[in-house]
Structure 1
Amino acid sequence: MEPAKEKESSVQDEAVGRSNFKNCNHIAFYRRQKRLHPGKSLYRALLDSATLSNDGVKLQIINEKNKVPLQVEIYAIEGNIFRIKINELSPLKSRYEVQDVLIKEPATQRLSIAQKEAGILVLTCDAEDRKLHITANPFLIELESQGETVLSVNTNGLLNFEHLQPPPQNSKRTAQIKEDISADSFQENQEDLGLWEEKFGSFLDIKANGPSSIGLDFSLHGFEHVYGIPEHAETFLLKNTSDNDAYRLFNLDVYGHKIHDKMGIYGSVPFLLAHKPNRTSGIFWLNSSETLVEINTKAVMEHVPSKAPPDITKQRVIPQTDVRWMSESGIIDVFLLLGPTPFDIFKQYSQLTGTQALPPLFSLGYHQCRWNYEDEQDVKAVDAGFDENNIPYDVIWLDIEHTEGKKYFTWDKKKFQSPKRMQELLKRKKRKLVVIIDPHIKVDPTYTLYSQAKKRGYFVKDRKGQDFEGICWPGSSSYLDFTNPEVRQWYAEQFAFKSYEGSTEILFVWNDMNEPSVFKGAELTMQRDAVHHGNWEHREVHNLYGFYQQMATAEGLIKRSEGQTRPFVLTRSFFAGSQKYGAVWTGDNVAEWSYLKISIPMLLTISIAGISFCGADVGGFIGDPEPELLVRWYQAGAYQPFFRGHSNIESKRREPWLFGDENTRIIREAIRERYTLLPYLYSLFYQAHTTAEPVMRPLWVEFPKEQETFGVEDEYMLGNALLVHPVTEQEATTVNILLPGSDEVWYDFRSFRRLDCPGTLKMPVTIENIPVFQRGGSVVSLKTAVGRSTEWMADTSYELHVALDSKGSAVGEFYLDDGHSFQYLHKKQFLHRKFTFHKNVFSSSCADEIGQYHTKCVVEQVLILGVEKKPTSVTARLHDGRDKEVIFTYDTKTSMLMLEQLLLNIGADWEIHIK
């Protein structure tokens, strides 16, 4: 092993240890928040202070113990959302409020005061049937929608707001601060409380502003199923937490992260969803500092409204889920999303944070990555290997070894002597290159990027005002301050061809290590007392760091093309709103069956939190997968949004053809199946981009009333048409599959066999493929043939799979544009078609008249599943009114009707009549 790699390996081995990372007991602000127990709130609302404006309502609340007032702002947001902000009325200095995550300041609706008496203020929203009840003492807010109390705030009295104070000058002042924090007697000393400084191991965090944490609890009435708050290597359905066992949202580089652990890993989205058969609700906690979330589902007694006398009022037991949010700093800024449907929630959340960026088509193909492809010859050989083995792929990736001494935007002059020529060879094959560009910059005055950033003051500072330095891959490194708009603009300019020598238009970017990772830092990340633009401490913006790097990178790639070409940027660290800038993946997983299994709930959680473009490293990044595991992972990855094989530098080579002819054949088939599915996938991404519908979604999203789906995490829907059940057990010969919906019809996606008995079925499986089913009532668009990459398939004809429901009907949509530019947006150059099967007529019509896009592509075949009898004739009526006879075959065993040699333009109106 080379010395550099030896060093890298030792750093990784150190990172694996759980002792490098905090648990809840280590977190001082959590310990302080937890001293406040459920009970009567310390806060009382001053209802006489309430003022009403066109935007919302403002009122004061006061802590009955320390007499510090807070200001509460309440807004009704268009689209069935409430926003509550709580801040100090007169802070010593401004408290941090998250920037750039919201796509705009949300439009408000007018609130009216419906009642103000007897310690209660009732607000109504003019536009919708929504009420907000504010109780003065103790301070409590209840949200009512359509006569139902959906959610309440401060139900358990856990509002806890540490106001900013001047540093203590003496022990008496310190005692006063302790007294303010809790009424309990204190056994701890100041160091244990972590008021002004906090130790973890050998690291000392100096808190210039002292204790500034916030906390608030919410009760979700009637709910016992809650989801979201990625990223954790945990179950999809969130679990009840116990003391010192909260879900942690704090972005960290956890190499080979432990599964079934609530510790924070690479990304944080503080968005929680609750679901019950008649409603879905959401809580979006807009705070970028370290956040801990506790969950407690319990049974409570509820009064049932009745006309009977009060003494015989009925009661019933209903579930209730209490959620407690605690953050190290900032303000309380929370959005309460009232749905009521899952798709309403997705739309409401995207209205705040944006929708998934429409990716370039090539990025939906297969990606081949390794740490590291050694040199140009290695890249050329791997590229040729795909062609020799007849396996399609779109992108080859280069990790940190491609650079000169881990200096990003450079090339190793020995290994990559002619990077442009290498890219030209890939371009001729209609393929792309992705290179890694991390946020740490090697401290080296001869390195132009470093010297320029140093001169301009673009690095994050330490608390003494010097450039923060930490150890990462290059050794001593400084970290660009991406929270500064000027730094982001400068960074974006580095992607220009004249600045990034050796880059071409087929080069795209991978942002890694951007939690940010600091090898010899506390928890392997940046000191919390480091200082960013605007004099904000790192603790305030930690979870936003990777979000900002991905934003700057995406803007750089767009700028490079003069606004013409869509970027592709993969990031490891993410936050709410990261969907606007590209893709994410689940980080450094392990080549074990348990990691394949946990990848499904992890991806479902990320997907419902707004980030549709997500995936897990196929095969596991760390270690060497056995052939069966690798095959099963390829089969799973082929039906997930982001599809990349990746492996560690110490792993054995694992290109798809290295595991014997039989395994190569099966992997080839899985990858080729992905490529035939691209028209359907691309259409799903268009829906994610325009309507915020997740590409990969849990069963309950499509079947919201079917309670048996609420806890399912081993299968999922890909769009609304395909149900996918990856095989995640070694040597499995059967799997238990839930086909939901009592009146649903399902079809095997490959054999076209109809299954009329929905429910949990025990089905045999072989190593050949994983179970996939098409839902009755849907239309799935496919390509009839596979090329060497997506670009090779641009003119390939289409095949439509029409699966009839129990009423003999089906609908589906199809989207097409040039696959790479913004012309779909600026010039409305796109096709959006609607397919309908009704009363034995299958038709194609325009779903969006605004879009226009010329294509020569045709629908060559249509397969109609569930046709009860063989027709006597089939006729196609073309857009010009002409009729033509259609060649067809009918399979009596599967009741499948195949229409062939249609040659119907995909962009034209036409009808097919079946008699």
Structure 2
Amino acid sequence: MLTWLYNKGRISSRRSENSKMASYTLIGIFLLCCTVLVTAVSRDNFKSCDQSSFCRRCRKVEPGKTPYELLSSTVSYNQTTLSADLFNKDTGIVYILKLTALRDNTFRLHINEKAPLHARYEVELALQAEPQVSKIDSIEKSEESITVKSGPNKAVLSVKPFKVDLYSQDELVISANARGLMRFEHIRTKPEPKQEPEQDGAEKVEEPKPEVESEHPGDGADSDPGAWEENFKSHHDSKPLGPEAIALDFSFPGAENVYGIPEHADSLALKSTKSKDPYRLYNLDVFEYELNEGMSLYGAVPVLYAHGKEKTSGIFWHNAAETWVDILSTADNNVVESIVNFVSGSKKPQVAAHFMSESGVIDVFFLLGPKPLDAFRQYTLLTGTAPLPQTFALGYHQSRWNYNDQDDVQQIADSFDRYDMPMDVMWLDIEYTDGKKYFTWDARKFPNPVEMIHNLTSKGRKLVVIIDPHIKRDDGYNVHTDATNMGLYVKNKDGKDYEGWCWPGSSSYLDLFDPKVREYYMTRYDFNNFQGTTKDVYIWNDMNEPSVFNGPEITMPKDVIHYGGWEHRDVHNAYGLMQTVATYEALMRRSERSLRPFILTRSHFAGSQRYAAVWTGDNMAEWDHLKASFPMCLSLAISGISFCGADVGGFFKNPDAELFVRWNQAGAWLPFFRQHSHIETKRREPWTFNDEVTQIVREALRLRYSYLPLWYTLFREHEVNGTPVLRPIWAHYPTEVEAFGIDEELLVGDSILVRPVFEPGVTDVTVYLPGEGKVSWYDIDTMQQHGQQSTLTVPVTLHKIPVYQRSGSIVPRKMRIRRSTVAMKNDPYTLVVIADNNGKATGTLYIDDEVSFEYRNGKYLYLRLSLVGNNLSSKILDKVASYETKSCLERVDIVNPPKGIKSAHLTSKNLGKVALETKYNPHNNVLVVRKPSVNMGEEWTIELLN
């Protein structure tokens, strides 16, 4: 344990200016590590709903007794927005309601106090831009309701009691406040305690705390003991502004499951919270997190999707404060009673959600689908998509806390070549710095970092280094002295610089909500400030929840103050987003806006996808944690964050050989593919187990690299149209009820289905193949056909997991696997074509320079690949774009080809008509067309001849 304490918090005190500072630092490290140790074994370090006063208050609201009424006489509107006053009859408070029609089947509902005592916080930078509005076609008013029509959709606002019903093509899909759980705690002055007159001669006894007199009685908030101040363990929250919680319920008629609101180590389909705590959205550093729980983790993305056989819809709760979400289903009592919605004399299935936030305003976007991919696109139209990464970021990443020194890095990189394994990125954790001072190097361990970087880049590889948001309080550290002198730190409630504890010991935190602070932070990445780095060094932003070891719930106190006077409680979930916003812009400037940045972040929020990839945090080398990586990344993917992965092999503990193999085989099918482990784990590079493990991991890595053209194409398509790179089965097979709860499988795009092995010692696994017999699935290794039955038992060996390609698809691959993606850039392509029962197949391929933003200037190729009968062709989809690629077509494998093919010829503008060699394999029904050798930038046709 003492070794662990030392390593988890060790500081290079040999560079301290004096021994006194070193002693203080070590004492502090011991204290903070004790805090972390407790966190590892006890959930008591994190609040339950009952321990959170606002959650407790919101959850106690009785269904069906809403005090809110729409004042129809105040209604006004323009071409896009309806406005009206909303009245709370219990408190007398008036609110302003705005309902706006937005582009692409979306509405926005915004509710705020009409005359607040001070402004309420509204989220910054989660939206990629001001949402594009749509025209309101008509507004119809009656005594009971107001109907707003826009395109095929309408919103019906009930006057008394207040409710909003959203219709898609005349079918009710979402109801807000149907259960009457809305709560909007107005901002108020602190009430004075009632003074009870003393009775002369009476014996004095201990009395309960006196009741308080409220300026606006009726909501009961003032009588809650945590309304105006709250304690949790040894921490005190002063709550200077008092209660200001907001809440709203949403019902989804016809839906059978709800999904989203990551990040949780739980199933993809959200579970009922009727008899347990709600799901919590509050970014926290949770050490060795538990599985199958709704407790908070590192990220909070408040988007929720409801799905049934007929429709998919969703809501985006635009709020960065601590949020709890209750989920109820048809099976839970009293959920459906509030919505009368009969079809053929029977009630539809439905689910309901109840969002409860500590502060802010009600700002919710209704995503009306109607299909899953429509709802996903509608969300990314609001918050953005991931920019196309450089290809190296889609390769394999090798990391550890920590590689010892410069020689260690070089030896590991050389070993990948020796063992014939591709690898693109080496990573350095905190030990590369000079005493945990970011933007510095340990001169003893890394005496010449530029030389180390050049040794990597000479083989096409990159380096990633970690930069955390905590700044060491060391008078000899220029970032600290600048931040102190320039007033860049987050402030305590008394106006002084906030001080907490993290890896360096005593630390303060840059107030990244301040544009001036972000500007300063960006300059730290300049080459003259972060010496020893080059344009081939990219960034890992960790511990940015923010993690504060001695803070409440291992994070920053809620009553510290940020730029603009906002409390941390208002902005907490967006802190990590602000760090990645600044880091992204810094990397853009550093390359003179020529290179696409790569950033990995642990903390994330709505909109984080525009700047960084995400991983699932400090998992463990256990089978259940391997299994959890799939639903966790699927949940993030449908919530806009496609670029997701998990620490391969597990961060904590030591995997055995079988678990290590299975984790690499699964990790190869997640977008971000990195091995990473704790400082006290055994070394676990792919060759450290035995020869068989080395061989199998080599196969997994090489398989990943062969599919890089598919990954790259999917990321470009995600950037353009918002479709997730990873998708749950129901996204493409929305009527197959059996698929609604499946999260041990996933789709890569719409053409590859992956079902890893998540249990030890098994010889077979159960696989669900969607398509209801209309679609066939082909084993990518053997091309064996499946699809006559939806669920089958598939044998597995240690060398193989079930992976299938869909009939009717064309998948591009590169089969010449080299040491890195840079070395493969100009290599030829192979097309794997699987004809459907009609002899057709389609696919796409995207090609550009793989590093720059020139593709945004039209320097790219986007190709439609098609097989129709006996003709396979490639057509350029975007005629205004062009790119001169050196890659050609090397081979075509056609599964289930037309019968009797004896030869083929290719026709293109530059080659004319060329005869091609073909070979048919009757054992797997594959026709191979060899060496077409046509440049991929040309349009061409291959005709198959009998």
TM-score (norm 1): 0.96
- Name the CA shift for 1:888/1:443 in 2 (closer, same or farther; >3 Å): same
* Contact 1:115–1:123 under 8 Å retained in 2: yes
**Aligned residue among 549, 556, 560 for 1:526:** 556
Alpha carbons 2:783, 2:895 under 8 Å: kept = yes
Match of 2:67 in 1: 42
Cα distance, 1:379 vs structure 2: 0.5
Q: 1:305 to 1:753 in 2, by over 3 A?
A: closer
Tell me by how many angstroms 1:744 deviates.
0.3
Alignment partners' CA distance in 2, 1:824 and 1:112:
38
Partner secondary structure for residue 239 of structure 1: coil
Q: CA deviation at 1:12?
A: 3.8
Distance in 1 between residues matched to 2:328 and 2:717, nearest whole Å: 35
CA contact (8 A) 2:312 2:370 kept: yes
Q: How does 1:460-539 map to 2 (within 5 A)?
A: 460-539=490-569
Counterpart secondary structure, 1:82: strand
**55-64 vs 592-601, which deviates more?**
55-64
Residue from 78, 85, 89 that aligns with 2:103: 78
- Residues 1:357 and 2:387 aligned together: yes
2:13 paired residue number: none
1:119 maps to 2:151: no
Partner Cα separation in structure 1 for residue 112 and residue 73 of structure 2:
18
Counterparts of 1:871-886 in structure 2, within 5 Å, are 871-880=901-910, 882-886=912-916
Residues 1:95 and 2:116 aligned together: no
Contact 2:92/2:216 (8 A) holds in 1: no
Deviations 1:351-403 (Å, cap 9, x if unpaired)?
A: 11111121111000000000000100111111111111111100000000010
1:213-292 paired onto structure 2 within 5 Å: 213-292=245-324
1:806 corresponding residue in structure 2: 837
Unaligned segments of structure 1, at least 5 residues: 307-313
**SS of residue paired to 2:213:** helix
Does the 8 Å CA contact 2:472/2:507 hold for their aligned counterparts?
A: yes
The alpha-carbon deviation at position 182 of structure 1 amounts to: 4.2
**Residue 304 of structure 1: how far off its partner (Å):** 7.6
Separation in 2 of the partners of 1:6 and 1:512?
15
Q: Is the 8 A contact 2:769 2:787 kept in 1?
A: no
Offset from partner CA, 1:827-879 (integer Å, 9 cap, x none): 31111111000011000110111221101111100000112534122111122
**1:860, 1:112 → 2: CA distance?**
54
SS of structure 2 residue aligned to 1:675:
helix
Partner of residue 6, structure 2: 4
Report the alpha carbon displacement of residue 315 of structure 1 after superposing the two structures with TM: 2.0
Equivalent residue runs for 1:568-587 within 5 Å: 568-587=598-617
* One-letter amino acid matched to 1:519: F
Residues 875, 914 of structure 1: 8 Å contact kept: yes
Do the aligned partners of 2:272 and 2:327 also contact (CA within 8 Å) in 1?
yes
Check conservation: 2:456, 2:462, Cα contact below 8 A: yes
SS class of match (1:850): coil
CA displacement at 1:14 relative to structure 2: 2.6
Structure 2 residue matching 1:370: 3-state secondary structure: coil
**2:888: which partner in 1?**
858
Aligned to 1:771: 802
What is the rounded CA distance, in whole Å, between the counterparts of 2:364 and 2:266 in structure 1? 24
Is the 8 Å Cα contact of residues 91 and 219 (structure 2) preserved in structure 1? no
1:319 CA displacement: 1.0
Query: Are 2:472 and 1:442 aligned?
Result: yes
Q: Deviations over 1:293-340 (max 9, x none)?
A: 00111164887889xxxxxxx621211211100000000000000011
Aligned match for 1:588, one of 618, 625, 630: 618
Instruction: Give 1:181 deviation, angstroms.
Output: 5.5
For residues 637-670 of structure 1, the C-alpha deviation after alignment (integer angstroms, 9 at most, x for no partner) is: 1111000000000100000000000100000110
Is residue 650–residue 677 contact of structure 2 (8 Å, CA) maintained in 1? yes
The letter of the residue matching 2:174 is: L
What's the counterpart of residue 337 of structure 1?
367
Give 1:562 deviation, angstroms: 0.7
| Partner residue of 1:744 out of 775, 779, 782 | 775
Paired AA for residue 501 in structure 2: I
2:408 corresponds, among 371, 378, 391, to 378
State yes or no: 1:674 paired with 2:699.
Answer: no
Q: 2:933 aligns with which of 897, 900, 903?
A: 903
Q: Which residue of structure 2 aligns with residue 137 of structure 1? A: 160
**Partner deviation per Cα, 1:730-778 (whole Å, 9 max, x = no partner):** 0111011011112001111111112241410101000002111000111
2 CA distance for matches of 1:150 and 1:104?
27
More deviation, 271-280/870-879: 870-879
Q: How many Å separate the matches in 1 of 2:179 and 2:426?
A: 53
Query: SS of the counterpart of 1:792?
Result: helix
Which of 2, 6, 15 matches 2:39? 15
Greater CA drift, 106-115 or 43-52: 106-115
CA distance in 2, matches of 1:372, 1:122: 61
1 CA distance for matches of 2:134 and 2:719? 26
Please report how far the alpha carbon of residue 616 of structure 1 lies from its aligned counterpart in structure 2 after TM superposition: 0.4
Distance 1:651 1:716 in 2: 30
Distance 2:103 2:538 in 1: 37
Corresponding residue of 2:191: 168
Cα distance in 2 for residues equivalent to 1:751 and 1:851: 37
Write the distance in 1 (CA, Å) between the matches of 2:355 and 2:710: 39
Instruction: Call closer, same or farther: CA 1:509–1:200 in 2, change over 3 Å.
Output: same
Q: Is the 8 A contact 1:879 1:909 kept in 2?
A: yes
Query: Could you tell me which amino acid in structure 2 is paired with residue 176 of structure 1?
Result: E
Q: What do you get for the CA RMSD once the two structures are aligned?
A: 1.7
Indicate the SS of the match to 1:904. Answer: coil
Question: In 2, are the aligned partners of 1:493 and 1:559 still within 8 Å (CA)?
Answer: no
Q: Partners of 1:489 and 1:821 in 2: how far apart?
A: 24
Q: CA deviation at 1:881?
A: 6.6
Q: Which residue number corresponds to residue 309 of structure 1?
A: none
Instruction: Output the CA distance in 2 between the equivalents of 1:872 and 1:3.
Output: 71
Q: Tell me the amino acid that sits aligned with residue 792 of structure 1.
A: A
2:462 corresponding residue in structure 1: 432
Paired residues of 1:36 and 1:182 also in contact (CA < 8 A): no
Which residue does 1:158 correspond to in 2? Answer: 181
Q: Partner letter of residue 416 of structure 1?
A: F
Q: Which stretch has the larger CA shift, 487-496 or 591-600? A: 487-496
Matched-pair contact (CA < 8 Å) for 1:841–1:911: yes
Q: Once the two structures are superposed, what CA deviation does each residue of 1:113-138 show, in whole Å capped at 9, x if it has no partner?
A: 5432232222222xx12222111111
The count of aligned residue pairs is 900
Work out which of the residue numbers 633, 641, 665 in structure 2 matches 1:635: 665
The residue identity in structure 1 corresponding to 2:237 is D
Aligned equivalents of 2:348, 2:826: Cα separation in 1: 57
Change (3 A) 1:121 1:637: same
AA in 1 matched with 2:697: I
**Distance in 2 between the 1:786 and 1:10 partners?**
47
Report the 3-state secondary structure (helix = DSSP H, G, I; strand = E; otherwise coil) of the residue aligned with 1:415. Answer: coil
For residues 798 and 115 of structure 1, the distance between their equivalents in structure 2, rounded to whole angstroms, comes to 58
Structure 2 segments unaligned to the other structure (5+ residues):
11-32, 196-209
1:417 aligned residue: 447
TM-score (norm 2): 0.93
Aligned to 1:459: 489
**Which of 17, 21, 31 is the matching residue for 2:56?**
31
Which residue is equivalent to 2:29? none
Secondary structure in 2 aligned to 1:886? strand
* AA partner of residue 27 (structure 1): S
For 1:89 and 1:418, the matched residues in 2 are separated by 61
State whether residues 176 and 248 of structure 2, in contact with CA within 8 Å, keep that contact through their aligned partners in structure 1: yes
The Cα of 1:548 is off from its aligned counterpart by 0.6
Cα separation, 2, equivalents of 1:538 and 1:685: 34
SS in 1 for 2:788: coil
**Alpha-carbon distance between aligned partners in 2 of 1:30 and 1:76, rounded to the nearest angstrom:** 31
Q: Is the 8 A contact 1:224 1:321 kept in 2?
A: yes
Query: CA 1:78–1:166 in 2, change beyond 3 Å: closer, same or farther?
Result: same
8 A contact 1:24–1:244 mirrored in 2: no
